[in-house]
Structure 1
Amino acid sequence: MRSVIIGAIAALIISIAVTPLAIKLLTRAHQPVRNELGLASNAGKQRTPTMGGLVFIGATLLAYGIGHVALLPLQGRPHLPTLTGLVLLGLFVGAGLIGLLDDVLKVVKRHPGGLPGRYKIVGQLLVGAGFGALALYFPSPEHYTVGSENVSFVRDIPWANIGRIGAVVVFVLMVMATSNAVNLTDGLDGLATGSSAIVLSAYVLIAFWQYRHWCAERPKFSACYEVRDPLEVALVAAAAAGALIGFLWWNTSPARIIMGDVGALGLGSLIAGLAMATHTMLLLPIICGLFVFVTSSRIIQYVSFKTTGKRVFRMSPIHHHFEMAGWSEVTIVVRFWLLAAVAAALAVGLFFADFIHRAGF
């Protein structure tokens, strides 16, 4: 537990301290903002630096290392990074690099389009398939893999075996869906940052509970979890959550820096990786309920307009609908954070309800 707490605190301190420096360095790295509809949230943001995701990705990596150092007094020897940690951080960095390329093109070309969508998809496919294969094809000495061949809800569903290839395919779809959902949500100051911090905090609770009831250490306990390196999962999630909270200090309204695609795509992929590592695939849409809500509004708007020529919302994603209805940016963000917290709490409640049932309490 100490390493998880130290990792979270270290990430928060690093992020909150380094972000002002990043603001100065990235002052010229601002992407063009289209505001034909006169959205209040876009007013004055033409000069706001982007690519702030570099800060919390870097802070997470440093805090991960610090968390491992914190284990030395307990174990008396270096606690080397595990494959689980490398897969999760690799997803974070790999998808972040795709977003970074998109951000750089926006800044250099001065065009909001950035990297063409087909190249983003190819990049996400490569990142998801590469790290998905690492997660499924390389077991630990205890025969645990980072991911599972079974579809999972709060744990593996015994009869839902889809094989390794099928599991990698499903994981790629999870990476693409979640990373794009976070990217869609990143439309108001602090919205995606705060919501992602809530989701990551929920995964800290889930992963740490799995560590405390891990089959590798408590094989005879009926409610134990057959997962790999759950403490490592909790450390990564805690470090990322701490880094986001530190970044939120500067990203909340009025934002002095925005995360950009480097942050949004990286966060979405990391969250998908956490769902895979904790064997909670079908719990992901619940724990990310706000992201599902925002993405659904975009899909509904698109399908309605293409089929009937009518728009369901004044503008999509739905946070802009409320903005055009007269809600202030801060009001929308805070209320959406509440929705994110309710969804995450419901998911964690379902997770613990399953444990209580199996443990016979």
Structure 2
Amino acid sequence: MIAIIVAAAFSLLFSLTLTPAFIRGFKRLQWGQFIREDGPKSHYSKRGTPTMGGLIFISGSVIAYFVGHLVAGSPPTASGLLVILMTVGLGIVGFIDDFLKTHKQQSLGLGGWAKIFGQVVVAVLFALLAIRFANARGLTPASTSISLFRDLPFEFMQFGLIAGTILFVIWIIVIVTSTSNAVNVTDGLDGLATGASILALSAYVMIGFWQHNEACAIRIEPGCYDVRDPLDLAVIAAALIGGLIGFLWWNTSPAHIYMGDTGSLGLGGAIAALAILTQTELLLLLIGGLFIIETGSVIVQRLYFKVTKGQRIFLMSPIHHHFELKGWAEVTVVVRFWIIAGVLVLAGIALFYGEWVLQQ
């Protein structure tokens, strides 16, 4: 518990106090945001606002994670380090994309397939490492079963070691690329993805803490959880939340800095990793429900456009821009979308707890 508090507090102070220095540095480096010409006209004033802010809260969260363990006198775990690997790995992919955008001053950085390739490489590395490093009870950071509130009967290894491993890796790739791109799509208004990510990560602090208290390693009883290092997953999630809260102070409207793809891809990776390692992969559809809605609006818009040969359902996708173009103030859109995200997260937590109650 001490590690959770220390990690969150240190990360918050890091982002809150050091972001102004990063903003000045980014301005000198001319790491400014590029604004699409076809976007809402109200966004034109944001052109040149420093981006790549993900560097701030990702680095602060990683440092905070180790500081929390140092203060608590506990060693880092394989699970916590895997979340860091995913977050930093996808953050690097996003940084390359952001750097190319700011260098070329155009909306296209890495090509679409190049970005997907980077995400796949990180996801494959994560997947292969996550089924190694078994502890004394034989638990690896990730299981090779599909999970909802805990592992379901479907086990990839029933198809054999090689085929099962390949199928598991593909499953992880789907989760990671979908989640990271969904958070990336949501990051279109001041503070929107930041606030939504805080809410989603809060769910994993609660889930990790609850799984730790009800772990089969402590007491074998109906409803206990066979999850490796759940408390440490809560620590890294809390560190990310602290960093995001501090960052939101500067990222809320009117934003002084944006997280960029560095932050959005890194956050998506962190959320995906936490879902996988807490064995709540399918529950992510609810906990990350706002991200699903945002991505779904883009997919539906493109399909409808192709089928109808040029007609659109929304004035603009992702859907947050649709409401802007309908006349909603940016802050109104952001706060209402936060409310939607919060309701979906609470529903996910309620279902998670309800499943445990039914096991008793």
Residues in 2 aligned to 1:36 and 1:224: alpha-carbon distance in whole angstroms: 52
Do the aligned residues in 2 keep the contact of 1:148 with 1:167 (CA within 8 Å)?
A: no
Matches within 5 A, 1:308-323: 308-309=308-309, 310-323=311-324
Structure-1 residue corresponding to 2:221: 221
Alignment correspondent of 2:174: 173
**1:31–1:111 contact (8 Å) kept in structure 2:** no
| Equivalent residues of 2:148, 2:280 under 8 A apart | yes
Q: Distance in 2 between matches of 1:277 and 1:300?
A: 31
Match for residue 118 of structure 1 among 79, 104, 113: 113
Task: Name the residue aligned to 1:35.
Answer: 37
The one-letter code of the counterpart of 1:199 is: A
CA distance in 2, matches of 1:106, 1:21: 22
Give CA-to-partner distance per residue, 1:196-229, whole Å, 9 cap, x none. 01000111000100011111122x2211100000
Matched, 1:108 2:94: no
> Are residue 160 (structure 1) and residue 162 (structure 2) matched?
no
Which residue of structure 1 aligns with residue 339 of structure 2? 338
In the alignment, which residue of structure 2 is the partner of 1:57?
Answer: 58
Separation in 1, partners of 2:22, 2:342: 29
Q: Alignment identity in percent? A: 47
Contact 1:6–1:70 (CA under 8 A) maintained in structure 2: yes
Q: Which whole-Å deviations, capped at 9, do the CAs of 1:79-103 have from their partners, x for residues lacking one? A: 2221111110000000000000001
Q: Distance in 2 between matches of 1:37 and 1:85?
A: 39
Deviation at 1:138?
3.0
User: Structure 2: how far apart are the matches of 1:119 and 1:287?
Assistant: 28
Which structure 2 segments of 5+ residues have no match? Answer: 158-164
Residue 32 of structure 1, CA deviation = 2.1
Once residues 104 and 46 of structure 2 are traced to their aligned partners in structure 1, the CA distance between those partners, rounded to angstroms, is 18
- Does 1:142 pair with 2:137? yes
> How big is the shift at 1:172?
1.0
The question of whether the paired residues in 1 share the 8 Å contact of 2:101 and 2:108 is answered with yes
8 Å contact 1:39–1:323 — kept in the other structure? Answer: no
- Assess if the C-alpha contact under 8 Å between 1:39 and 1:324 holds in 2: no
SS at 1:332 equivalent: helix
Select the residue among 75, 90, 95 that pairs with 1:95. 90
Task: Give matches, 1:215-254, under 5 Å.
Answer: 215-218=216-219, 220-254=220-254
Q: Secondary structure at 2:154's aligned position in 1?
A: strand
* Residue in 2 that maps onto 1:128: 123
Residues 106 and 131 of structure 1: CA distance in aligned 2, closer, same or farther (over 3 Å): same
CA–CA distance in structure 2, aligned partners of residues 39 and 337 of structure 1: 23
Q: d(CA) in 2 for partners of 1:45 and 1:334?
A: 19
Residue by residue over 1:264-318, the C-alpha shift from the partner in whole angstroms, topping out at 9 and shown as x without a partner, is: 0000011000000100011011100100010100000000001112101010000
Partner of 1:195: 196
| Contact 1:136–1:168 (CA under 8 A) maintained in structure 2 | no
Deviation at 1:141, TM superposition (A): 2.2
Amino acid at match of 2:128: A
* Partner in structure 2 of residue 75 of structure 1: none
How many angstroms apart in 2 are the aligned matches of 1:260 and 1:37?
17
Q: Is the 8 A contact 1:286 1:346 kept in 2?
A: yes
**Does the CA contact (< 8 Å) of 1:149 and 1:166 recur in 2?**
no
Runs of at least 5 residues in structure 1 that lack an aligned partner in the other structure: 73-78
Which residue does 1:76 correspond to in 2? none
User: Bigger CA drift: 43-52 or 162-171?
Assistant: 162-171
**How many residues end up aligned between the 2 structures?**
350
For residues 307-343 of structure 1, the C-alpha deviation after alignment (integer angstroms, 9 at most, x for no partner) is 1121010100000000000000000000000000000
Q: Does the C-alpha gap of structure 1 residues 166 and 107 become closer, same or farther in structure 2, counting only changes over 3 Å? A: same
Q: Distance in 2 between matches of 1:308 and 1:136?
A: 46
TM (normalized to structure 1)? 0.95
* 8 Å contact from structure 2 (residues 61, 236) kept in 1: yes
Q: Deviations over 1:220-260 (max 9, x none)?
A: 22111000001110000000011101100000000000000
Q: Which amino acid aligns with 2:343?
A: V
Indicate how the Cα distance of structure 1 residues 217 and 114 shifts in structure 2: closer, same or farther if over 3 A, else same: same
Q: TM-score, normalised by structure 2?
A: 0.95
CA distance in 2, matches of 1:167, 1:289: 23
Secondary structure at the counterpart of residue 92 of structure 2: helix
Question: Matched residues in 2 for 1:85 and 1:203: separation?
Answer: 13
CA contact under 8 A between 2:40 and 2:324: conserved in structure 1?
A: no
- What SS class does the counterpart of residue 43 from structure 1 fall into? helix
1:358 offset after TM fit, Å? 0.8
CA shift for structure 1 position 38: 4.0
* Structure 1 vs Structure 2 CA RMSD: 1.0
Distance between the aligned counterparts of 2:70 and 2:356, measured in 1? 32
